[in-house]
Chain A
Amino acid sequence: MQHVLTTDVYKTRHEEFKAFVALNVEPFAEQWDREQKIPEAVIAKLAKCGYLGCSLPAEYNGQGWDTVTFGLLNEALGRGSSALTGVLTVQAMVSMALLKWGTAEQKRKWLPPLARGEMIAAFALTEPGTGSDLQSVSTEFSRNSNGFILNGTKKWISCAQFAGMFLVFGKTEQRPVACLVSRDSPGLSVEPITDLMGFRAAGLAQLHFENVEVPAANVIGKPGFALSHVAPVGLHYGRVSTACSALGLLRGCFEESIAHAAKRKIGNKTVGDIGMIRSLIARMGTDLEAARLLCHSACRAEDEHLPEVFEKTFMAKYFTSRAAVGAASDAVQIRGASGCHGDSPTSRFYRDAKIMEIIEGTTQIHEDVLGKMFVGRAGPLGRPRRV
């Protein structure tokens, strides 16, 4: 988003983030992808820099950074490793849902360790049979004298392999409920999911809850509002994070492509001398600029408390993730055989980009939501309306 940065503070922060990524992420991202694991040491570095609690207020040991800065951090990390950015994504999803809907006591207890990165959280919403249709969650919280007994299964949960706390969504007496569940709860087992196409190091897992006791004090928000109010706050920050992470991946595709096009010789010409390659790069560079503007607009809308923040965030995630898929495909094409090898970041970009189109709402869900929003603007008489 550097072209739309208007203050020196943003520029300085972005440079700081990019320097962190160049030193601590980019040289190792292929190895993490191959080993399907992010080392604890790099998560500890994110924590030490204050990145894992960057959006939380200082009173909870966070950095208190605004959403534009949060977006810049995600963009910089996304250039290096989508899987690592996933840690930031889910930490923000849980932290911001807790900040909005937690009681004063819950916030005092849980937010400082989350902000300091002493505790990694995961957002346990998706189930084996429930994805986009949130209302169909079947995880059951049965009431007992101390709170709830939890039974059910969650699947495709990012960072669940190493998270210490889960924000789990389910139902109690047919009403949606969200509860914090500690990893060390008896009856909870974590089954790693491996061999994904992309996000291979993001620590995905399946969670099995068998008669897990959950104290009533761990309910976030009120029963009945978990899917309409608690989950959407987390998903909103997840969408901001994913959009900006995809923007970083898109920048990576562009940077790798122009560098290759400029130096790779074909006879006495370079790859960049070929008109068809220039076409691919022209589209990639233009998409990159458009995506920057959309992501920046969404982050600004959040910081300026604009009511259209949801619409802007949906558009940013929708456009940027699709553009990232196209750019990654073209980046591999420009690199040729070397772009297909596991040592090349373009190979990883290609696999990770597709995941961006699926997480925090698929492209098709975004089209459905945005289409409804736009048609709704026409009003009841369907007259053309200036927008």
Chain B
Amino acid sequence: MTVIDEKEIKETVRRFILGSVNIPDFKDDDNLFESGIVNSLFAVQLMTFIEMTFAIEVATDDLDIENFKSLNAMTAFVLKKNEN
């Protein structure tokens, strides 16, 4: 994926989450950790999916709940990593 836009990232991640967790839907700014959608096992799967799909590396400095708490947060994180 060389050129990515916000919408594409968001929908790609949304499809992965909905394809992995049996929930009807969720909003872009829902807190996925507080709602229990992302548990400890799924957290690293989601991180790995983001790393592999968008060819970025999540490093220790990126370990901040603000980067992963919602679909909006993850989208912003991927865009920021791509800029770098």
Contact = CB atoms under 8 A, between A and B. Distances in A.
Given A222-B63, A225-B63, A379 B53 contact: no
Max chain A Cβ within 10 angstroms of own Cβ: one of B23, B25, B52: B52
Contacts of A373: 20
A119 B64 CA distance: 31
A310 interface: yes
Contacts of B18: 376, 379-380
B40 A307 contact: no
B16 to A, nearest CB: 7
Nearest to A379: B18
Contacts of B44: 228-229, 232-233, 236, 310
Nearest to A309: B48
B20 A224 contact: no
B23 A380 contact: yes
Interface residues of A, number: 29
A135 B25 CA distance: 26
Contacts of A227: 40
Contact of A379 (B19, B41, B43, B65): B19
A310 B47 CA distance: 11
A135 B41 CA distance: 11
A380 B24 CA distance: 4
A233 B51 CA distance: 14
B60 A103 contact: yes
A225 to B, nearest CB: 5
Interface string B1-45: 000000000000000101111111100000000000000110111
Given A135-B40, A222-B63, A229-B63, A310 B22 contact: no
A228 B23 contact: no
A10 interface: no
Interface in A37-91: none
A305 to B, nearest CB: 4
Contact of A307 (B22, B24, B41, B48): B48
Given A227-B40, A376-B20, A376-B21, A307 B47 contact: no
A377 interface: yes
Contacts of A134: 40
A138 to B, nearest CB: 16
B22 A375 contact: yes
B52 A306 contact: yes
Nearest to A223: B63
Given A232-B40, A233-B44, A310-B48, A224 B22 contact: no
Contact of B41 (A221, A224, A232, A376): A232
A310 B45 contact: yes
Interface of A: 101-103, 134-135, 221-222, 224-225, 227-229, 232-233, 236, 305-307, 309-310, 369, 372-373, 375-380
17 contacts: A101-B60, A102-B60, A134-B40, A221-B63, A224-B65, A225-B63, A228-B44, A232-B41, A232-B43, A307-B45, A310-B45, A376-B19, A376-B21, A377-B20, A379-B18, A380-B23, A380-B24
